[in-house]
Structure formats: C-alpha cells, structure tokens
Chain A
Amino acid sequence: MDSVADSQRTLYPYVTGSSVVAIKYKDGILMAADMGGSYGSTLRYKSVERLKPIGKHSLLGASGEISDFQEIMRYLDELILVDNMWDDGNSLGPKEVHNYLTRVMYNRRNKFNPLWNSLVLGGVKKGEKYLGTVNMIGINYEDNHVATGLGNHLARPILRDEWNENLTFEEGVKLLEKCMRVLLYRDRSAVNKIQISKITEEGATVYPPFSLRTYWEFSAFQNPTAGAEGSW
C-alpha cells in the first residue's frame, strides 16, 4: 500500500513556470507572467497560460509545476461551480479563494505530497482590492505587491521603490514591464513572451501575449575582456 502512495508523490517538478509579479493599482490588480513551460533547463513550451480568471472577482497566477496548477484549476472550477449553484446572489471573493487555496496547499504539505506551486491570487470585490500569495509549503500572506520565485529577489525591490497606491493602468503596466524585463535578463528560465492581466470591479481581462525589447548596446558589452583575456 505504501508503494502505491509513494508513486503518487511529487518528489520534484518536471514542467515548470517561472515568476509571477502582481501589484495593486488604482482600479484593482495588475498581474504579469511569462508564457514559458521549462522542462529542466530546456525551454520546452512557449505558450503556456499561467494567468487565469477565477469566478467573477479573482485572478490566479501560478509558477512551479504546471500539471499541479492544472489540477488546482480543476479544484477551483468545482469550487466556483458549487458557489454558482447556490444561486443566492453571493459569490466567492478573492479573500475567500485565497483562503481555500491556502488550506489545500497546507494540507497537501502535511501529507508530504505538495502541489509544487507558488500562487498569486488577486481580485476586487465591492471596491475592496485584495492581493495575496501562497506557496507549496503553505506560507501565505497579502501585500500591495507580491511575486514568486526569482521575482521576489529581482522585482520586489523595484516595486518597493516605485509602487504607490494611485498608479494608473498605464503606470502599472510600465512598472510590471520593468520588472519582467529585469527577469528576462537575469532569470535563466524566463522566456520572452509575456502576458499581463488586470482585474477590476468590472471583471478580468487577460491581454494578448507580447514580447519585450531588450537592451544590449552598453559600450562595456562590446569587448568586455579587452586587456584581460580569459576573464568574462
């Protein structure tokens, strides 16, 4: 019986998504992620959608094992379905969905069979903006800006410096793009195809994928080892 249980465990991830970055802005939440599904160090899939609307009020962004993310989507689809079936005019808000996900992730962690993801859950309900994150060991918190993976090290410092509560849509998009560009330069598993999505009181929009321009024209990049052969 143990061997059956063992074969069900996720011991290590196979197809993984990289960072998700999200911020609160004037009208709601903005979230960004690239569309890469890496298979170890191979950039195997380049059109993986990692940002999904949940119900009427929430957006989920996922990094980590893609198959586990797809399973989480199945759980959430069922959650929303049952919520709709009550037909009572009420609907699950982002705080509730985040709480549900936290319970799922933590309980799996306690059984030593984690869902190998770091999730970002953002949304707006009745004018109240919410942005939270939960990861594979059940650590969860909310903040004005969150990120997963390398985004915590590379994007959050930029956001700490440049975020404010009154960002317009345009300012928010530019700020997220700045973060995604740094990730493109400095994260091995980043892929240059990005999706940005927003959620406001009116609903969720996932924008079409696009690529970012990168800059390589620093004079120092031309001949970095002149005078120091063998260095880099």
Chain B
Amino acid sequence: MDQVDFNAPHSMGTTIIGVTYNGGVVLGADSRTSTGVYVANRASDKITKLTDNVYVCRSGSAADSQVVSDYVRYFLHQHTIQLGQPATVKVAANLVRLLAYNNKNNLQTGLIVGGWDKYEGGQIYGVPLGGTIVQQPFAIGGSGSSYLYGFFDQAWKEGMTQEEAEELVKKAVSLAIARDGASGGVVRTVIINSEGVTRNFYPGDQLPIWHDELESHNSLLDILGAPEPMNI
C-alpha cells in the first residue's frame, strides 16, 4: 500500500479536451504525468504538434502516445512535401487512426486530433482505444473526462466565440483536475485558426475555486496572525 512503483509504466492519467468554435479549434489538457502514485512530471505538455496547423492531445501511456505522434509527424512531413500544401486535419487524424487500429493489441493511448485547414475550417477528431475515428464538435478524453460528461452536456453550445471556447476548456480541465487524482498541475491550451497557433498557460492560482476548495495562502501562520520568525 505504501509503495512507489518506479517500474510502473509512465501514464498520463490526464484530462484532454478539443472544442470547435466559429473560427477554429481550442485544445486543452492538464500537465500531470504519473508513475503509479508518484507524479513524475507536474508540468508536462500533452498537446503535441503534428504540423503547423494540426495538433494532437495525448492520453494513456506516455510512451505509446509519443511514438504514435512521432510516426504521424514523420508521415505528415513527407505528405506535405508531396502534396505541396499544408496537410488537412482529416488526413492527419486518419494517419493516427491507422496506427492506433493496426496496433490495437499493443497500444494503450487515447488521442484527440484538432486543427484548421482551408477546406473544412476547424475540426476535432477523437481516436479512442481500439482505433475508432469519430469527428465531433467537441471531444473529451483521459481519465479526468469521466467527470466532464455531465458538464459538457449542459455547457456546450454551437457557434461559440474564441474567448467562450477557451474559457469553457479552461473551466472544464480545472473541474476535472479538482476530482481526478491522475490529472493536475497547470492547464495548457492551444488555439488553432486561419491566423495561426496560440499557446496559453494557466497555473493553479489563476483557475477558479470549486466546491470544498479554499483560497490559498503562503502559510497557516499568516492566517493565525502569529509573528514571523526573525530572519537575521
């Protein structure tokens, strides 16, 4: 019970989200990577670039999701050269699907592919365990997503602005972090539209406080009003 298993596979417990809005997509994720109960990395970046206009949110096994994204990046690079123009989001998502599906017995990773291209605009594709591909107006994944189904059923709206979409993603990841032990750290978002890509970073103190949580302090001593110990 009291063991830290350093040989346990690195797993990104995770909360990942992808949301379309009226000009593109917003991708979001937490930043916790755990080895058993130990948090191996508290500031990971789970939103990975495949091309300039397509990114993927990774969940599940850190190794499996990394190697899949590495292969897809490699294939897309060659594809872009041959095509002579940026790859479409659909092609990127289908490459991910092919790898996930054809190696389904050996992979344990759920992915959300999101991006913008000039033909279809902003698109989100979910590629869960098993290699199904499903295009959705929004997708959630990772262990933290269990806590968000009800939230999205209620809060998701068609035709949001960029600000509304990013606020929704930020709020959702923060809610999942509050309840999922395997998610935590900071909220990272990536916004992709015709103009390009914007990365954002929201540490814990910039996120809202939810039920049964408290405002944070430097020390109990500040609250008790005890005098600070003297420092010479």
Contacts and interface: CB of A to CB of B under 8 A. Distances in A.
Whether both chains belong to one complex is answered with: yes
Interface of A: 13, 38, 41-44, 46-47, 64, 116, 118, 135-136, 148-150, 152-153, 168-171, 173-174, 177, 185-189, 192-194, 196, 207-214, 216-218, 220-225, 229-232
A170 B226 contact: yes
Contact of B34 (A188, A192, A207, A223): A188
Interface in B195-220: 199, 201, 203-205, 212-220
B117 interface: no
B229 interface: yes
Contacts of B48: 225, 229-230
Contacts of A41: 13, 143, 180-182
A173 B219 CA distance: 8
Nearest to B4: A153
Interface residues of B, number: 55
Interface string B46-58: 1011000000000
A230 B44 CA distance: 11
Interface in B56-96: 62, 66, 69-70, 73
A229 B181 contact: no
Nearest to A212: B216
A47 B213 CA distance: 9
B212 to A, nearest CB: 4
A214 B218 CA distance: 8
A64 B213 CA distance: 22
A207 B220 contact: yes
10 closest pairs, A vs B, by CB? A216-B203, A232-B44, A46-B212, A221-B43, A211-B214, A211-B216, A213-B216, A188-B181, A41-B181, A225-B45
Nearest to A189: B181
B178 interface: yes
Contacts of B134: none
A205 to B, nearest CB: 10
B22 interface: no
A224 B216 contact: no
Contacts of A150: 2, 4, 37-38
B1 A152 contact: no
22 contacts: A41-B143, A43-B178, A43-B181, A46-B212, A116-B1, A173-B219, A174-B221, A177-B220, A188-B13, A188-B32, A188-B37, A194-B220, A207-B220, A210-B220, A212-B217, A216-B43, A216-B204, A218-B43, A224-B43, A225-B45, A230-B48, A231-B66
Given A150-B4, A188-B181, A230 B69 contact: yes
A186 B42 contact: yes
A186 B33 CA distance: 10
B42 A43 contact: no
A42 B181 contact: yes
B155 interface: no
A224 B182 contact: no
Nearest to A207: B220
Contacts of A13: 1
Nearest to B66: A230
A38 B44 contact: no
Residue of A13, A185, A189, A217 ringed by the most chain B CB atoms within 10 A: A185
